[in-house]
Chain A
Amino acid sequence: DQQVKQNSPSLSVQEGRISILNCDYTNSMFDYFLWYKKYPAEGPTFLISISSIKDKNEDGRFTVFLNKSAKHLSLHIVPSQPGDSAVYFCAASSQYSTSGTYKYIFGTGTRLKVLA
């Protein structure tokens, strides 16, 4: 049951251009979304997040867009840099938690390669 899907396993982009990574979800209970970046032999590193009350969140070169009606989010990186080459995971959770812990459901990841 793939509740969070990243349909592009890989993406190559020229340095300086825009990278667009996509993520779709099926569970309408998800209302908080995060993007993590992962380098080989390291754990995922938080990049940016968005709550369902927003449709856009920006942090420097990174912008996340959320389309709730389409159950779709995307991460834009502009300009892309060679150091951005990594695997990018989107993750979804519910803002509601009785315990205070938040269970992430991850997508399968997209390997981004930024070409110099």
Chain B
Amino acid sequence: EPEVTQTPSHQVTQMGQEVILRCVPISNHLYFYWYRQILGQKVEFLVSFYNNEISEKSEIFDDQFSVERPDGSNFTLKIRSTKLEDSAMYFCASNRDRGVHEQFFGPGTRLTVL
């Protein structure tokens, strides 16, 4: 069964460094998302992406964040200058069709900012 994959599974970085989290959505999916979950808290929406454009973003998704679909298969989340409070589990998700609500989530990347 096709699945969303994410790399790396765990990323440790120093505060102020740039990180890129990578996701490979399910191949025929057209709509892509990033969510994050700070330890012990709820899963929070960051951004949605369709047709090479951001569709919607939350207040969390400020100028330090960017997303890209560089090559038709990968979907990346870049954090330009990481802060301690960016430490969280980051989940990528995708879905196929307009009108289909169900999103398929990847296993997540745990980001630790020291």
Contacts and interface: CB of A to CB of B under 8 A. Distances in A.
Given A41-B107, A44-B91, A99-B55, A49 B101 contact: yes
Contacts of B98: 97, 100
The SS class assigned to the A binding surface is: loop
Interface stretch (B14-22, B42-50, B63-71, B75-83): B42-50
Contacts of B58: 103
Interface residues of A, number: 27
Contacts of A42: 107-108
A44 B55 CA distance: 22
Nearest to B43: A106
A104 B93 CA distance: 11
Q: Closest 4 interchain pairs by CB?
A: A43-B105, A101-B48, A99-B55, A100-B98
A32 B103 CA distance: 13
B5 to A, nearest CB: 10
